[in-house]
Amino acid sequence: MRITPLDIQQKQFPMRFRGFHAEEVFAFLEAIREEIEDLLRENAQLRERLQQTDDESRRFWEMQDLLGRTLQEAHQMSEEYKGHARKESDQLLQTAAEEAEELVGRSHEQILALNEEIVELRMVRKRFHVEMKEVIGRFMRLLDGESSNRKQEFSLHSLHGTGAGGDLPEDPSENSCHGSVPED
């Protein structure tokens, strides 16, 4: 049974002969009542402070839990961003490497094509030189043959004294068409 200060104040004791001194008993009971009242008030205050401390502790733990989860999520997001950044970087490097390889391949093909074209142009130039030499040689032979024919005509005309060949030069080297032709 729980005793309150009111119970102590209202408690009635039967009187007996030669019993306790009533005023002292009432004064003592009043002192006990006040002491219990103070203790109960202090107990209530302590309970209230304990409840506040529990509430603060619970809020602290909830905040700590929230902070921990937030840090964990931030770390996880950071790792995901790092992973995405690594993946994107790897893809960019791969793409750049492929493009560089393709560019090198195309450049190599162009170099080969240019080298083939150079070889072909050299062959064309060589054939051109050979053909030009042949044309010049034929032209020279033709000129030499014509010059010989004219010399023979001139000789025949001068032997006969007709003078028909008087307009021909005496020296075939004076003929402007028979000048020197440079050879390669």
- What phi and psi, each to the nearest 5 degrees, are found at residue 107? -60, -40
**Choice between 32 and 129, residue whose per-residue pLDDT is larger:** 129
Q: Which residues contact 40 (CB under 8 A, 6 or more apart)?
A: 4, 5
Q: 176 falls in which pLDDT band (50, 70, 90)? A: very low
pLDDT in tens, 50-89: 999 999 999 999 999 999 999 999 999 999 999 999 999 9
The overall average pLDDT reported for the chain is: 83
pLDDT in tens, 150-170: 777 777 777 766 544 445 455
Report domain extents, the chain: 5-178
The pLDDT of residue 68 is 94
> pTM higher than 0.75 for the full model?
no
Do 176 and 184 touch, CB atoms closer than 8 A?
A: no
- How far CA 180 is from CA of 89, 139, 141, 177, in Å, comes to 73, 12, 13, 9
Rounded to an integer, what distance in angstroms lies between the CA atom of residue 68 and that of residue 77? 14
Q: Which residues contact 20 (CB under 8 A, 6 or more apart)?
A: 13
Q: Which residues contact 36 (CB under 8 A, 6 or more apart)?
A: 3, 4, 5, 8
Do 170 and 153 touch, CB atoms closer than 8 A?
A: no
Half-sphere exposure (Cβ direction) of 158: Cα atoms closer than 13 Å: 11
What average pLDDT does range 10-30 have in this prediction?
77
